[in-house]
Structure 1
Amino acid sequence: MEYDEVIHRRRMVRNFREDPIDEGATERIVTAGLQGPSAGFSQGFGFLVLESPEDRERFWSTNEHNVQPERVRRAPLVVVPFACKDDYLDRYAEPDKGWTDREESRWPVPYWYIDTGMAALNVLHAAVAEGLGALFFGIPDEDWPALRDAFSVPEAYDPIGAITVGHPADERIEGSGDTRRRKDVEEHVHGGDWGDTFR
């Protein structure tokens, strides 16, 4: 599948079949996530990949504040992307970066979350390229301790959300993308000056 087609076919799938995913497809999807950029090549992210019914059920049991319906929980793969701020602070305290401390205030925005988000988008695109569907959803911070405890995740790692991956069910569940229109290029892209159109 051409990349342009992957981008245009990507949407959030909210209804999955239970059919298993080919093992090779899972590996390609997860590996694609690792190809995302990261500031200073810090690579301060990690994935928790849950395939077995037991692991997935353990994950769902930690989601007390954002309970997903059964049609989402049927997905045979859950990928949880985690961001690690410490990796970035450590990396930018190294000699080649010119800083001598780990001062967080030097960062204009939290790149650990941005980079992990880009890694997550790679997972979403890779799922489409494999002929599958995926859904990204948030994990409220009230549920982070339970998630960390359930899977022995170090305190330094923050889940930016979770991604369910699987074969879309025949019945499509509408989301915001179905009830709201995608804005035109002219509304998002500005050329030369914010008040100027792109083309």
Structure 2
Amino acid sequence: MEFRDVVRQRRMVRRFSGEPVDPETVDRLLDHAVRAPSAGFTQGWSFLVLTTDEERDRFWAAATPPDSARDLSTWLAGMRTAPVLIVALTSKTAYVGRYAEPDKGWTDRDEARWPVPYWHVDAGMASLLMLQTAVDEGLGACFFGVDGGRVAAFRDAFDVPQEWSPTGVVAVGHPEAGGAKGSPARRRRKPMDDVVHRGAW
């Protein structure tokens, strides 16, 4: 598939068929993910791959809030059909430590030196490569976050060390025909003139 087609066809898929995903395809998603750029080539990411019924059920039990201001039942019913969940995690410690090395020289390890948390930026870039690879493989995927109040339960459920924080989750599978529409069905894409500023704002 042409790259421009991958970009234009990428959508957040929220309901999947029962067809399994080839393990070799999952490996390709991960191989592409680790090709993402990372600040200082820190590569401070890790990926928790959940493919069995038990693993996915454990994830949803740990990550689902007991109540929500918004009704999540339809979203959850669709997302729970994904046969593969890949949790993208990142380590702030890895980045702060990397930039305290001699070629970077921030020996004080002061987090305030970072204008934005690039550990999450880099994990997000890796996640986007997985989303694009899914399209290239003829699959659907959706990126979503772990509720802040459920991170501790998620860590406990999968023995994730405290150093590692989930940036988000990539759900992957074969899209179900006529699956749920997301926000793009309710909102127009902004015109380029509204978002691109050339030379000055």
Counterpart Cα distance in 2 of 1:81 and 1:63: 14
Q: Secondary structure at the match of 1:161?
A: strand
User: Aligned partner of 2:79: which letter?
Assistant: V
Counterpart Cα distance in 2 of 1:40 and 1:139: 27
Is residue 23 of structure 1 aligned with residue 23 of structure 2? yes
The offset of 1:183, in angstroms, is 0.9
Match of 2:174? Answer: 167
The offset of 1:101, in angstroms, is 2.0
The offset of 1:71, in angstroms, is 2.1
User: Aligned partner of 1:19: which letter?
Assistant: E
Counterpart Cα distance in 2 of 1:184 and 1:2: 24
C-alpha distance after superposition, 1:37-60 (max 9, x if no partner): 110001111110111111111111
* Structure 2 alignment gaps of length 5 or more: none
User: Aligned partner of 1:138: which letter?
Assistant: G
Is residue 60 of structure 1 aligned with residue 68 of structure 2? no
Alignment of 1:110-189 (within 5 A): 110-189=117-196
Q: Secondary structure at the match of 2:122?
A: helix
User: Aligned partner of 2:59: which letter?
Assistant: F
User: After TM superposition, where is structure 1 displaced by more than 6 Å over at least 4 residues in a row?
Assistant: none
Q: Secondary structure at the match of 1:95?
A: coil
Counterpart Cα distance in 1 of 2:61 and 2:3: 36
User: Aligned partner of 1:71: which letter?
Assistant: G
C-alpha distance after superposition, 1:148-182 (max 9, x if no partner): 11111110111112111000001221110111011
Please provide the CA RMSD for this pair.
Answer: 1.2
The offset of 1:94, in angstroms, is 0.3
Match of 1:79? Answer: 86
Q: What percent identity do the matched residue pairs reach? A: 48
User: Aligned partner of 1:5: which letter?
Assistant: D
The offset of 1:86, in angstroms, is 0.2
Is residue 193 of structure 1 aligned with residue 200 of structure 2? yes
C-alpha distance after superposition, 1:31-86 (max 9, x if no partner): 11111111000111111011111111111111232764222111110010011100
Is residue 98 of structure 1 aligned with residue 98 of structure 2? no
User: Aligned partner of 1:183: which letter?
Assistant: K
Counterpart Cα distance in 2 of 1:108 and 1:69: 34
Q: Secondary structure at the match of 1:139?
A: coil
User: Aligned partner of 2:89: which letter?
Assistant: F
Q: Secondary structure at the match of 1:171?
A: coil
The offset of 1:27, in angstroms, is 0.6
Per the normalisation by structure 1, the TM-score is 0.94
Q: Secondary structure at the match of 2:180?
A: coil
Counterpart Cα distance in 1 of 2:60 and 2:179: 22
The offset of 1:11, in angstroms, is 0.7
User: Aligned partner of 1:20: which letter?
Assistant: P
